[in-house]
Amino acid sequence: MDSVTLLPSRLSAPILFADRQDTRNALDAFFRDFGFTTRADLERLASWVLSARGAGVSPDVALALARERVEAWLGELLGPSHASGKLLSRGRAAFVLVDAARLGADVLLREPRHLPEAWRRTFRDAVPVPVPHAAPSVMPEQVLVLNPLAELLRRWLRLGQPGVSTSP
């Protein structure tokens, strides 16, 4: 009976550890997209994200927490003028463009108001312009001109007629 009760407890510990390793791998991949590469920075950022929930969370929950924390940081840094549905992707682009990861994990761990004003201005200027939404439109009819010289002569001859445009 004892061997049966000990067997599930032995199996549960490696599964919990594997979940935490998967979580760390997911968080490391998320922060590598921002340009962080050193192990110390990745560990500090993972602990920053997981401090709100604690250890043992699934990778999906950890990624949602990381997105939430980074979006909140970006929202505070960029202000309401840049707040939109694509804040995380536009903020990540600006983060990479200004090479903010070279400053280490401290840049995300600090409150944005404590960062130098010149750096904040540079970061705001690096935010890409949002892409406009796709809108259906009609493409104008195009005319194929087989003999450009004859077309030029035709336009020149029509130039003297009232109410006729010489544009194609």
**pLDDT value of position 11:** 33
Q: Predicted confidence band at 151 (pLDDT cuts at 50, 70, 90)?
A: confident
Report residue 164's pLDDT band, with 50, 70 and 90 as the boundaries.
low
Which residues, including other chains, have CB under 8 Å from residue 70's CB and lie 6 or more apart?
A: 34, 88, 91, 108
- Given the structure tokens 């003028």, which residue do they identify? 81
Give 160's pLDDT tier (boundaries 50, 70, 90).
low
User: Among 88, 100, 75, which residue's Cα sits nearest to residue 128?
Assistant: 88
Range with the poorest average pLDDT among 26-30, 32-36, 84-88: 84-88
pLDDT, averaged across the chain: 79
DSSP class of residue 135 equals: -
